[in-house]
A and B are shown apart, each in its own frame.
Chain A
Amino acid sequence: MSENSVVSERKKMVIRFSGDSGDGMQLTGDLFSQASGLAGNDLTTIPDYPAEIRAPQGTIGGVSSFQVQVGGTEIYTPGDKVDVLVVMNPAALAANLSFLKGGGTIIADADNFTSRNLKKAEFDENPLTDGSLDEFHVIRAPAATLTSEALKDLGLDRKAIARSKNMFALGIVLYLFSRSTDDIVQFLEKKFGSKPTLLQANTLALEAGFSFAESVELQDVPVYIPPAKLKKGTYRNVDGNKAIAWGFLAASEKSGRTLSICSYPITPASEILHELAARKDMGTIVFQAEDEIAAACAAIGASFAGNLSVTTTSGPGASLKSEAMGLAIISELPMVIVNVQRAGPSTGLPTKTEQSDLNQALYGRHGDAPIVVIAASSPNDCFDFAYKAAQLAMEHVTPVILLSDSYLASGTSPWRIPDMDELEEINIPRFEKPAEEWEPYMRTEEFMNRYWMSPGDKGFEHRIGGLEKKENTGNLTYEPENHEKMTKIREEKINRIARRLPDQKVIGARKGKLLVVGWGSTFGAINTAVTELLDEGEKEIGFTHFNYINPLPKNTAEVFSSFDEILVCELNNGQFINYLETKFPEFQYRSRKKIQGQPFFTSEIKAAIINHLS
């Protein structure tokens, strides 16, 4: 950016990179996000891949997109509508134009708007020239021509040159956001350090794009987004699946218990397994089981052996694991079951997000089988809740379900890397007195958990299993009163965990007309909607968001009692509202459901709130 340019300061902006699957849009978006983080902005990203692994090139079905909202304030969603849309071909324009705000900017690779590509995208006329985009600012960039020109001395073939066009587009975007190319060049050096020609090609294309934007007199005034006020520390971008994997690594290191992950591949949870498979350097034991059932059962075996044991899956796999969860519940063994939810039932919409496995998590087992249920609410807090799930499982010697979903799994947000000392201690209940004084099902007084003794512990040999056991001794018994008592103990043990959960917090009014309630991954959209309404002067609304689903935080009823009505927003057909109505029937509930395989838009939540207030 030249010294005397006019710059317009903006609080937040949304940009969407889109192109064919082979155009490198995910990398481009990722690099832009990292540079934004480095510039001190807060951000949230979301990818949008084609469902097919290799969709036909140039078609609308083959469009791959990456959306990021960056801000000088805290950012909780990737944004509803887009300020800047990058389209590398006509199909990308056709697929994404509806996301663009009126008056927004389109950066198009004009060279790629050939009659053949226009036909594939079902355009009769070239939208770049037929006037149909007049309400937008269109930057018609001859990306292909200028990229080949910039790279002509490198001796690369046409394909390799075409692959660098994404950096040309990124160069234009950097200019528009008043950023220098330096940070990106550094990232590229890290990525392509061992491949000097590729590094040079990408760098030259990036600079070429930047120069193009600088030299042609763009209608758009470059914008500047000031740094957000974030907590001091070292940051990086992290997606929800990686954050979950890392939460378990941290819990393993903190507790001194080796991590065993036993899983079966399933969309959209597999990346947790991939990430941990790459972490054998941390001693992680990775078992890709023959099926979902084996994965859950192997996790039980690993738990009995004394390891922090985890099985990861999505809805269909969670169905198959339900019998094993019952065994972990009655035998009282620690394990974490991660369900990265997707739209169901059955195969449903396997690549789309939904919060519809809540009932399954709460009730999806035979018998009276209470289990701890926790839900993460942002890509970066997936780390915290994975850590918490592991901590609660090990300290209370009980299985814990951690709910995430497709939206959190693939979205990213900046994550402040915690110091290990900041993380809560994990105190594993071990029986420290002589083994003769111990019985397998004796309990601690405060939380009623049993002690976690494992093979190799001399003198503590014991048998556990799926049959009902006598209180304390664990011996098999069919005594009617004992079964009732043990059922109550297993329930009370879970309920007592509420004693150590943080209180439910309220944003906005402490009392008033409407309490907006959310759980899990909808936090960003609801929080943004409520905050915007509060900023606009609305005084009668509060917002409380749940991460602890079972047990609920102990002040839940107290929070609810201060509002006339409670609006429960969720991405399913009303599962959390049913749960709340059962737990606290004394309150007035309203529901905002969305069951489209898509996250909430902030605008949808705002509209729902306004509608309920009027």
Chain B
Amino acid sequence: MSLETVGKEGETTLSRKDFASDQNVRWCPGCGDYVILANMQKAFAKMGDKKENFVSISGIGCSSRITYYLDTYGIHSIHGRAIAVSTGLKLANPKLNVWTFTGDGDCMAIGGNHFIHACRRNIDLNIVIFNNKIYGMTKGQSSPTTPLGTKTKTAPEGTYENTFNIGEVAISSGATFFARVPDNNHALLENVMMEAYRHKGVSVIEVLQNCVIFTDGIHEIITGKDTRDDNQVLLEHGKPILFGGDKTYGIQADGMKLRKTEISDPDNLNGSTLVHDAAEADTAMHVALSRMQLPDHPVASGIIRNVESKSFDSSVHETIENVRKNRTYDTVTDVFKSGNTWDIN
């Protein structure tokens, strides 16, 4: 690799503005994408990496326009294929800081195959999924995350397809990092982006992003000021899973299921309230936490899974290095002359 090792966090003096391109940002006014862009630029500045080492790769859709607005190397690629493009790029140069931007249609429908395989391989990509639960750019068709019964252009009577839960798919497919963040929680978004950067292996960030045109308010019940305390639980590693205005509710395990329970004294928990362990290798609890939904459970936000495991790109390059260390041939000419040859004079 021609690159020097990346710097430590905070070592460079880049600012958020250094990552703003000269292109006019063209999302609808009020779109949740602006928040993602702003926090991404802030997080990039904090990572301490050289600017020329950042690469953003996107697919097609509203989400994927972000590539043009980030002043880094970038490819606005093909519908569904951002992860595939990113994989080739990261393997070619594992020192690059690769961010893959996609949406619920781009990633979970047309790009679903690449998504599950990236999770399985545990390649060190940071995949940010803008989940507005609709196809926005093509003007309002149902996506794999559109809630059952929602009226869309392609389901005018209301959808009749079951949905994907992105966290469940990611974790079940082998993802070692999964976080869910509402687009109105700026501090959490930036924090999760930094943790994803630190995590070596695949990092999947699902942003609950509001589309002001087609699904305006679809996340409101989870993210709204008046309802979020009761309907959203922020998971923090090593802390009890509590929610509600005065932390009056907790999550307990009831056999293989999770149960919402009332807490009489949050300062004096009995042992049955779950403590979040994002580093647990077993996937069952993380899948269950990802699957929690209203009305029986709050929706989980924060880092649900953060497990250390060898990344695909490091395995590939370690294998190459080991083979090269013990190699028989130094040059391609040596390879060509291996086996049976003869001379003609």
Q: Show the binding face of A for B, using Cβ within 8 Å.
A: 34, 37-38, 40, 187, 190, 227, 230-237, 246, 249-250, 252-253, 258, 260, 262, 279-287, 289-291, 293-295, 297-307, 309, 323-324, 327, 331, 416-417, 419-420, 454-467, 475-476
Contact in complex: B77, A307 (CB < 8 Å): no
Residues of A within 8 A of B81 (CB): 293-294, 297, 324
Q: A282-B335, A301-B89 are in contact. List 4 more A-B contacts (CB 8 A).
A: A230-B344, A305-B92, A459-B52, A462-B73
CB of B85 within 8 A of chain A?
A: yes
Q: How far is the CB of A79 from chain B (nearest CB, A)?
A: 22
CB of B305 within 8 A of chain A?
A: no
Instruction: Please list 21 pairs of residues, one from A and one from B, whose beta carbons are closer than 8 Å in the complex, sorted by A's number.
Output: A38-B340, A40-B344, A236-B342, A250-B332, A280-B320, A287-B87, A295-B84, A297-B81, A298-B87, A304-B89, A309-B92, A324-B81, A417-B333, A456-B93, A456-B96, A462-B73, A462-B74, A464-B75, A465-B75, A467-B76, A476-B68
Contact in complex: A466, B76 (CB < 8 Å): yes
Over the window 242-273 of chain B, the binary record of Cβ atoms lying under 8 Å from chain A Cβ atoms (1 yes, 0 no) is 00000000000000000000000000000000
CB nearest to A238 among chain B residues: B336
CB of B163 within 8 A of chain A?
A: no
Given the known inter-chain contacts A283-B320, A461-B72, please indicate yes or no for A297 contacting B344, CB distance below 8 A: no
Q: How far is the CB of B20 from chain A (nearest CB, A)?
A: 12
Q: How far is the CB of B326 from chain A (nearest CB, A)?
A: 8
Interchain CA distance A476-B91 in the complex, whole Å? 29
Contact in complex: B92, A301 (CB < 8 Å): yes
Residues of B within 8 A of A231 (CB): 344
- Checking B73, B77, B344 against A466 with a beta-carbon cut-off of 8 angstroms, the contacting residue is B77
CB nearest to B93 among chain A residues: A305
CB nearest to A327 among chain B residues: B78
Contact in complex: B340, A236 (CB < 8 Å): yes
CB nearest to A262 among chain B residues: B88
Given the known inter-chain contacts A235-B341, A461-B73, please indicate yes or no for A301 contacting B52, CB distance below 8 A: no
Residues of B within 8 A of A416 (CB): 344
Contact in complex: B323, A463 (CB < 8 Å): no
CB nearest to A258 among chain B residues: B92
Interchain CA distance A476-B26 in the complex, whole Å? 12
Contact in complex: A301, B88 (CB < 8 Å): yes
Residues of B within 8 A of A283 (CB): 320, 324
Contact in complex: A458, B67 (CB < 8 Å): no
CB of B55 within 8 A of chain A?
A: yes
Contact in complex: A249, B335 (CB < 8 Å): yes
Residues of A within 8 A of B344 (CB): 40, 227, 230-233, 235, 416
Given the known inter-chain contacts A281-B327, A301-B89, A459-B52, please indicate yes or no for A289 contacting B84, CB distance below 8 A: yes
Contact in complex: B74, A463 (CB < 8 Å): yes
Interchain CA distance A290-B83 in the complex, whole Å? 12
Residues of A within 8 A of B151 (CB): none
CB nearest to A36 among chain B residues: B342
CB nearest to A281 among chain B residues: B327
CB of B316 within 8 A of chain A?
A: yes
Residues of A within 8 A of B323 (CB): 280-281
Contact in complex: A455, B85 (CB < 8 Å): no
Interchain CA distance A283-B85 in the complex, whole Å? 20
Q: How far is the CB of A249 from chain B (nearest CB, A)?
A: 5
Residues of A within 8 A of B50 (CB): 458
Interchain residue pairs A-B with the least CB separation, the first 5: A298-B88, A465-B76, A301-B88, A301-B89, A297-B84
- Checking A290, A302, A475 against B88 with a beta-carbon cut-off of 8 angstroms, the contacting residue is A302
Residues of A within 8 A of B333 (CB): 417, 419-420
Interchain CA distance A416-B342 in the complex, whole Å? 9
Residues of A within 8 A of B76 (CB): 463-467
CB of B86 within 8 A of chain A?
A: yes
Q: How far is the CB of A370 from chain B (nearest CB, A)?
A: 19
CB nearest to A252 among chain B residues: B332
Contact in complex: A455, B53 (CB < 8 Å): yes
Q: Which of A302, A323, A463 has the most CB of B within 10 A?
A: A463
Contact in complex: A463, B329 (CB < 8 Å): no
Contact in complex: B89, A302 (CB < 8 Å): yes
Q: Show the binding face of B for A, using Cβ within 8 Å.
A: 2-3, 21, 23, 50-55, 57, 60, 67-68, 70-78, 81, 84-93, 95-96, 113-114, 117, 316, 319-320, 323-324, 327-329, 331-333, 335-337, 339-345
Q: How far is the CB of A307 from chain B (nearest CB, A)?
A: 4
Residues of B within 8 A of A476 (CB): 23, 68
Contact in complex: A331, B73 (CB < 8 Å): no
- Checking B84, B117, B336 against A417 with a beta-carbon cut-off of 8 angstroms, the contacting residue is B336
Contact in complex: B84, A293 (CB < 8 Å): yes
Residues of A within 8 A of B60 (CB): 466
Residues of A within 8 A of B89 (CB): 298, 301-302, 304-305, 455
CB nearest to A250 among chain B residues: B332
Given the known inter-chain contacts A294-B113, A298-B85, A463-B75, please indicate yes or no for A281 contacting B328, CB distance below 8 A: yes
Contact in complex: B87, A305 (CB < 8 Å): no
- Checking A302, A458, A459 against B92 with a beta-carbon cut-off of 8 angstroms, the contacting residue is A302
Given the known inter-chain contacts A281-B324, A324-B81, please indicate yes or no for A297 contacting B88, CB distance below 8 A: yes
Interchain CA distance A190-B339 in the complex, whole Å? 9
Contact in complex: A234, B78 (CB < 8 Å): no
- Checking B72, B84, B319, B339 against A301 with a beta-carbon cut-off of 8 angstroms, the contacting residue is B84
Residues of A within 8 A of B73 (CB): 304, 454-455, 460-463
Given the known inter-chain contacts A260-B91, A282-B335, A463-B21, please indicate yes or no for A305 contacting B96, CB distance below 8 A: yes
Contact in complex: B113, A282 (CB < 8 Å): no
Contact in complex: B85, A297 (CB < 8 Å): yes
Contact in complex: A294, B84 (CB < 8 Å): yes
CB nearest to B1 among chain A residues: A456
- Checking B51, B85, B95, B113 against A290 with a beta-carbon cut-off of 8 angstroms, the contacting residue is B113
Interchain CA distance A289-B117 in the complex, whole Å? 9
Interchain CA distance A417-B343 in the complex, whole Å? 10
Contact in complex: A456, B3 (CB < 8 Å): yes
Interchain CA distance A47-B68 in the complex, whole Å? 52
Residues of B within 8 A of A34 (CB): 340, 342
Q: Which of B75, B88, B316 has the most CB of A within 10 A?
A: B88
Residues of B within 8 A of A456 (CB): 2-3, 52-53, 93, 95-96
Contact in complex: A465, B67 (CB < 8 Å): yes
Residues of A within 8 A of B342 (CB): 34, 37-38, 40, 234-236
Given the known inter-chain contacts A190-B340, A300-B75, please indicate yes or no for A291 contacting B88, CB distance below 8 A: no
Contact in complex: A324, B88 (CB < 8 Å): no
CB nearest to A298 among chain B residues: B88
Contact in complex: A280, B324 (CB < 8 Å): yes
Q: Which of B57, B96, B341 has the most CB of A within 10 A?
A: B341
Q: How far is the CB of B320 from chain A (nearest CB, A)?
A: 5
Q: How far is the CB of A145 from chain B (nearest CB, A)?
A: 31
- Checking B67, B93, B114 against A306 with a beta-carbon cut-off of 8 angstroms, the contacting residue is B93
Contact in complex: A455, B55 (CB < 8 Å): yes
Interchain CA distance A300-B83 in the complex, whole Å? 12
CB nearest to A460 among chain B residues: B52
Q: Which of B54, B76, B336 has the most CB of A within 10 A?
A: B336
Contact in complex: A301, B324 (CB < 8 Å): no
Contact in complex: B329, A323 (CB < 8 Å): no
Interchain CA distance A166-B319 in the complex, whole Å? 39
Contact in complex: B91, A187 (CB < 8 Å): no
Contact in complex: B77, A300 (CB < 8 Å): yes
Residues of B within 8 A of A419 (CB): 333
Q: Which of B78, B89, B323, B343 has the most CB of A within 10 A?
A: B89
Interchain CA distance A234-B343 in the complex, whole Å? 4
Contact in complex: A246, B78 (CB < 8 Å): no
Q: Which of A187, A279, A285, A455 has the most CB of B within 10 A?
A: A455
Residues of A within 8 A of B78 (CB): 297, 323-324, 327, 466
Residues of B within 8 A of A293 (CB): 81, 84
CB nearest to A296 among chain B residues: B84
Contact in complex: B92, A306 (CB < 8 Å): yes
Residues of B within 8 A of A475 (CB): 23
Contact in complex: B113, A458 (CB < 8 Å): no
Residues of B within 8 A of A298 (CB): 84-85, 87-89, 91
Residues of B within 8 A of A237 (CB): 340
